[in-house]
Amino acid sequence: MTDEWWRGSVTYQVYPRSFQDSDGDGIGDLKGITERLRHIASLGVDAVWLSPIFRSPMADMGYDVSDYTDIDPLFGTLEDFDHLVEKAHEFGLKVIVDQVISHSSDQHPFFVESRKGGDNPKADWYVWADAKPDGTPPNNWPSVFGGSAWEWDGHRKQYYLHNFLTSQPDFNFHNPEVQDWLLGTMRFWLERGVDGFRLDTVNYYFHDARLRNNPRRRIAPQVNPYEMQLHKFSKSQPENLDFLARLRVLMDEYGASTVGEVGDSTRAVEIMAEYTSGQQHLHQAYSFDMLGPEFTPKHFRSKIETFFRKAPDGWPTWAFSNHDVIRHLTRWQDHGADQDSLAKLAAAMLLSFPGSVCLYQGEELGQTETDLEFHELTDPPGIRFWPDYKGRDGCRTPMVWDNATNTQAGFTTGTPWLPIKAPQQSRNVAGQEANEHSVLHFYRHMLEFRSARPELHGRETATFLRAPDPVLLLQRGSLLCAFNLGTETRRVSLPKGAAEDLSGPSQAAALTGALLGRKLELGPNGFAFIELQ
């Protein structure tokens, strides 16, 4: 790893509540993660990302922070965190922590003080505005989690802005003191040895100071009408770039990295490019463009090509699953010949894309979404919009380490905070360790292959070649990568110079490609890596 260790890296995301419980309370913790670092390191990844572990009332499972410089007792102590960082570094793993600074919990002391009135030191640390003459909110901005983004405070007699839950008030980034303080909290963790930050909702930091209404977006209403607006003024403001420049100076001081989450349904790739172009802002950014239902060569190609066209010197991070979306094997199940074949195809494809990669815990097992009943839910938007939207709990159920019949799956000795059901428990670590053809072993083969091929993790961009749908064909340096996204056998013509089928990762797949002269035959969900001369 160089000073640019993040470039082309593979990060493994841990959802701490659901990774490993060390004390039997049914909730994962830092000691449990430390116990399982060997599994993460054995995959061949470069870094581990920890979803929020700071003090929080857990209204949004830690994405509502009440203390930015302490660990929530659910997860352990600062000493437990320091030990985790030390052990991770011994395994050669970088540690990235989730930093949620667009908003805090309404229980944060600064918000408690801010809502007392307009004459206290924290009065302008959050976004406050008067009601319209008829008592309605200042403008038409909606909350991502439903309803207005404005909540009335009876004591201060003003509305405050919350892009998410009413218990997640937005910081006022137009106040330089807020920026200074938040950067100081990040320095606290850098001093403890963290290697970088995943920045939650990075394009939500600033709002339009004039509070102008968002324009209408002419689409049919979905379960949540949030997307019926073009969010021109409520997020992605130009002032954000100046703050990201300040943040970059701090990161460079410590040799740390940033990866920003860009939330936008209309121009996410463009914002990713803007935020990572040059050397002044984010190191990397990702969006939800590959976290949805689309599974076509055209879709993947368009997102990658658009990014590098907009920011040839920028750097993306790609992911197929995370803690906010339905797991990709469930989203794309109609495109799979079978579950294992689809899992291996997705891994081979993702790990061949230009940029960095993030894998979500359980992805290496070919894990699927857990089907939960209403009474089992904990996620606020799932509870609010049930049954049309079931929330995010289904992708957050605990990691399955073994096939013990007590439904605890080696995760806990107590009752898990979310249920572990039979379809998920059947795809456990112990069982796949014993099967050399398992998805788990394939991920290790594929990560080893990626690491050994500089074309796959360096600055080499992808050149997409013409191929019949649903085949995706891209060239990375001297390596030709071919993927059949369909469930029927396909043949494609190869360019001149195709020398040999590199069998390393392909041998671990259930269905692989075969060279037939100048033709490549790909079985259902088949793929191949061809050396070009």
Of 4, 180, 253, 488, which residue is the catalytic one? 253
Q: Up-side HSE of residue 358: CA atoms within 13 Å toward CB?
A: 28
Q: At what angle do helices 268-276 and 297-310 cross, to 10 degrees?
A: 30
Task: Give the tokens for residue 116.
Answer: 């007392």
3-state secondary structure of 207: coil
The reply to whether omega before 387 is within 30° of 0 (cis) is yes
Give the HSE-up count for residue 219: Cα atoms under 13 Å, Cβ half-sphere: 14
Coil, helix or strand for 517? coil
Take residue 409 and report the two structure tokens written for it.
């799956």
Is residue 504 classed as helix, strand or coil in its secondary structure?
helix
439 secondary structure, DSSP code: H
Rounded to the nearest 10 degrees, the angle between the axes of helix 339-350 and helix 439-452 is: 20
Burial of 210 (0-12, 13-18, 19+ CB in 10 A): exposed
Instruction: Tell how far CA 328 is from the center of its chain.
Output: 13
DSSP string for 314-353: --BEE-S--TTS--HHHHTGGG-SSHHHHHHHHHHHHTTS
Check 60, 200, 261, 289 and give the catalytic one: 200
- Report the alpha-carbon distance of residue 360 to residue 323 in Å, rounded: 8
Clarify whether 239 is annotated catalytic: no
Buried b (16+ CB within 10 A) or exposed e, 336-351: bbebbbbbbbbbbbbb
Q: Is 373 a catalytic residue?
A: no
Residue 169 C-beta-side C-alpha neighbours within 13 Å = 27
Task: Tell me phi and psi for residue 48, to 5 degrees.
Answer: -125, 130
Per the structure block, which two tokens stand in for 278?
């040059």
Q: What are the catalytic residues?
A: 200, 253
